[in-house]
Structure 1
């Protein structure tokens, strides 16, 4: 795939996205459908990249950008559902879809079937989160989906790597798989943390917004590749680096310096552009493969389409059933706990004191309406398509895996993606409490700004208020961004 072809794909993607947005359509869905149709044009050559380049070039910046906007405090409060969805449910989905694939396509082999299961397992919840305000999603649902998106990619890609290794003949046991998963997670997080600390140290010594932004643009690739070199999770390395850099540059006074506001403003404009270009490229690239992978199918078109349909339904149902069972169990436990607290005032007092010592809120299960929203946000997206494109050529049924991944992605986008907004309106979740709390937080923040003298003092006061839990993270971030803009306008 040469440079001219890449530029042509990106340029057409921009035009299609503009037309789709004017008509209220999802650009990614329109791009992949049109690209798939275009693949059948007579004489169109097959556009291919090395499989390793897909994940290394596309996933790190997209994930870094997603982690930049994730609220750290919200992730901590909802850690139980995030871990359950981002780790346990992905493992369960990979196993279930892997076994179903091996039954539908027995000649695929169990190891290659688990490759397919890992490709199909992670939902693209970050896309849903990016439209959370438009959809009217509750903040807690948004926080859980954000945390899930940062973990499920790492879990799925780790399982993907293990399954690919098994196809290549590597000896894999349950104990070995668990040990490898633990190593890749811990080593990945540490790698990202170390590189994030290094980026923070170097950044404030560059004294130039363009150079500082260039450094941060390189960080996700560096974290990903460095972690992969030691066989750790490149995804978790990227997430760890992103959290460390973003949180410190925004809230920690030790990492504030003259001109930092200009860099933050510049980065806030650069990352959305990069996200758009990469997402457009992946949707177009995988769509343009359709004709060629259909021609190379080993299992026949009819059998592959049947397998894709069954796996599409299975992927949707597995999430629906699992989310309701898991969240329903927590709801039952919480109801029983409340009854116990109501009967025992002394126990209630100790419980409330424990919560105060933690400086947080107790874990309260989602309502039935919120649980339904979480269970319906199972659309597959960028990671599924990128992982499918990155399947090595020596994996049996590679072309079938790519066709199934494309069909399942399109199917979930059509079935769930186009109905999520209507579902949210139909549920009519009361957001008045959240809106009142946000308005109150905004008033608290504005009072903090009024009491502080100077831009640096205002940012420091906002950061301190967030650390002391007097201000929520979303409000603090928005107000700091406002201060940055006012300072830039006056300089």
Structure 2
């Protein structure tokens, strides 16, 4: 199947699932499309099972197997999704909360990885599945970080204050970098049987976080210098597209963090646009809004369809359901310990910790990382658990988040 045919089918399926959601499900668009795609996959499976002459499920497997999801997301769409999301964040509010966000991001993420790794280790032991603690910590590093694409989209839709959006988005955007460092460290120890030194880990962290941030600032500063002298909306849009793709690509080539670099550049461009008159900034912001919506809906369609290629195991499915409550529990404990200063200073600490905890959706990034694992045991087990956690957090937490926000922040909603 040609690339053009594959893209055409994805656009068609996204449009059909979107129409079904608008007409019948009436859910937030990304969640509705994921559910519609999930139901569509199950219907194909049932039809193939009872009607052997129908090969719809096999056809779906053929389509999805041709999509290299890790490459598509981690080396493609993610650059534009993160850039679009970071345009919406107030740089001023983010800077004011920088120390608290750093604490939540570094300490909170590491604690979540540790807690989740231990919980999965116990669950695997109870089901007599021989998966080592190191692999369990690797699974924790995959699942612990929240998905910035889902989180930014959700909190923007709910209309929270700029301050709250900055805290949630900042924590979600940067915890991926910490989790990826932990993931690559654990995987390196498993495969190469060699533990990196403390010095090398420190240097990697500095390069991933500080170096990537500086790269994003430099590329964004150059683009801002150019577009200030042109004052042409279409050219500004083209430069912003080049900035998102180019910054991400350069960061990857330099073995830095593409997500952190592109977020830094997006924050600066967003700050620049917020200071411009509406006639200069509205078209650029709207263009990125459209890009964000299209990529988001297609991403959630692919997540919904991934079920057709993920190996099924009854015991692993049971472990996933048993582990799901611990995603929120461990996040609550980790955030309470790492964000105690933020909570102490906040006028509504119960509300803040509640929506930080319940808003911890997992998404495409975790799934893409799981799919990128080498084809050795226990990749299939990790993949099914990861997929289950993504679907459960999006469905249960994503669909009930509005009620949690309304309960704690009714007065602050814009």
Change (3 A) 1:308 1:174: farther
8 Å CA contact retained: 1:188, 1:232: yes
Aligned to 2:114: 95
Q: Please state if 1:385 is matched with 2:367.
A: yes
Which residue in 2 is equivalent to 1:73?
92
Query: Cα gap change, 1:289/1:397 in structure 2, threshold over 3 Å: closer, same or farther?
Result: farther
* 3-state SS in 1 of match to 2:57: coil
Note the alpha carbon deviations across 1:351-403, whole angstroms, 9 max, x for none: xxxxxxxxxxxx546432333222221222232233334x1444543333232
In structure 2, what is the Cα distance between the partners aligned to 1:55 and 1:271?
19
For the structure 1 residues 368 and 100, does the alpha-carbon distance in structure 2 shift closer, same or farther, using more than 3 Å as the test? closer
**Could you say which residue in structure 2 is the equivalent of 1:483?**
none
Equivalence for 1:84? 103
The aligned counterpart of 1:360 is none
The 8 Å contact of residues 220 and 268 in structure 2, kept in 1 or not, is answered as yes
Equivalent residue, structure 2, for 1:184: 208
Aligned twin of 2:35: 33
Aligned position for 2:353: 371
SS at match of 1:171: coil
Q: Distance in 1 between matches of 2:349 and 2:324?
A: 27
Equivalent position of 1:321 in the other structure: 333
Query: In structure 2, what is the Cα distance between the partners aligned to 1:265 and 1:414?
Result: 32
The alpha-carbon deviation at position 224 of structure 1 amounts to: 1.5
Please state if 1:198 is matched with 2:222.
yes
Judging changes above 3 Å, is the alpha-carbon distance between structure 1 residues 185 and 428 closer, same or farther for their aligned structure 2 residues? Answer: closer
Report deviation, 1:25.
0.9
Map of 1:241 onto structure 2: 265
2:397 maps to: 416
Say if 1:37 and 1:419 are closer, same or farther in 2 by CA, change over 3 A.
Answer: closer
Distance 1:136 1:280, change over 3 A: closer
* TM-superposed deviation, 1:225: 1.8
Determine which of 402, 406, 410 is the counterpart of 1:425. Answer: 406
Q: Aligned partners of 2:403 and 2:352: how far apart in 1?
A: 14
Residues 26 and 167 (structure 1), Cα distance of their counterparts in 2 relative to 1, 3 Å cut: farther
Structure 2 counterpart of 1:288, from 305, 312, 328: 305
Greater Cα offset, 416-425 or 58-67: 416-425
Would you say the 8 A contact 2:87–2:267 is kept in 1?
A: yes
Cα distance change of structure 1 residues 60 and 79 upon mapping to structure 2, 3 Å threshold: same
Contact 2:20 2:36 in 1 (8 A): no
Q: Deviations over 1:230-288 (max 9, x none)?
A: 2211111111211223323543xxxx8xxx96663332122122112222222222332
Q: Helix, strand or coil: the match of 1:172?
A: coil
Q: Is the CA contact 1:136–1:424 (under 8 Å) kept in the aligned structure 2?
A: no
Unpaired stretches in structure 1, ≥5 consecutive residues = 335-362, 436-491
Contact 1:98 1:115 in 2 (8 A): yes
SS of residue matched to 2:83:
helix
Distance 1:428 1:145, change over 3 A: closer
Listed as ranges, the matches of 1:417-456 within 5 Å are 417-427=398-408, 429-431=410-412
Q: More displaced, 283-292 or 61-70?
A: 283-292
Equivalent residues in 2 for 1:129-148 (5 A)? 129-132=152-155, 135=158, 137-148=160-171
2:406 is the alignment partner of 1:405: no
Structure 2 residue aligned with 1:341: none
Of 212-221 and 124-133, the range deviating more from structure 2: 124-133
Q: Give CA-to-partner distance per residue, 1:287-326, whole Å, 9 cap, x none.
A: 32213222xx6xxx12211231233222111112333445
After superposition, the Cα gap between the structure-2 partners of 1:172 and 1:181, relative to the gap in structure 1 and judged at 3 Å, is farther
Residues of 1 paired with 2:172 and 2:332: CA distance? 17
- State the distance in 1 between where 2:267 and 2:157 align: 25
Contact 2:100 2:341 in 1 (8 A): no
Match of 2:179 among 156, 164, 167: 156
Asked whether the 8 Å contact 1:112–1:396 carries over to 2, the reply is no
- Structure 2 alignment gaps of length 5 or more: 46-55
Counterpart CA distance in 1 for 2:234 and 2:219 is 20
Q: Deviations over 1:321-350 (max 9, x none)?
A: 33344555665xx5xxxxxxxxxxxxxxxx
Q: Secondary structure at the match of 1:293?
A: coil
Q: Show the counterpart of 1:264.
A: 281
What is the CA deviation profile of residues 126-145 of structure 1, one whole-angstrom value per residue up to 9, with x for unaligned ones? Answer: 64554547646455432311
Q: Which residue of 1 aligns with 2:18?
A: 17
Instruction: Check whether the contact 2:94–2:163 (CA below 8 A) recurs between aligned residues.
Output: no
How far did residue 425 of structure 1 move? 3.2
Matches of 2:383 and 2:34, distance apart in 1: 13
CA contact (8 A) 2:105 2:175 kept: yes
Structure 1 position 208, deviation (Å)? 4.6
Provide closer, same or farther for how the CA distance between residues 426 and 308 of structure 1 changes in structure 2, counting only shifts above 3 A: same
Q: Per-residue displacement from partner, 1:25-76 (whole Å, max 9, x unpaired)?
A: 1333333333334443433233233433430112111111111111011112
SS in 2 for 1:218: helix
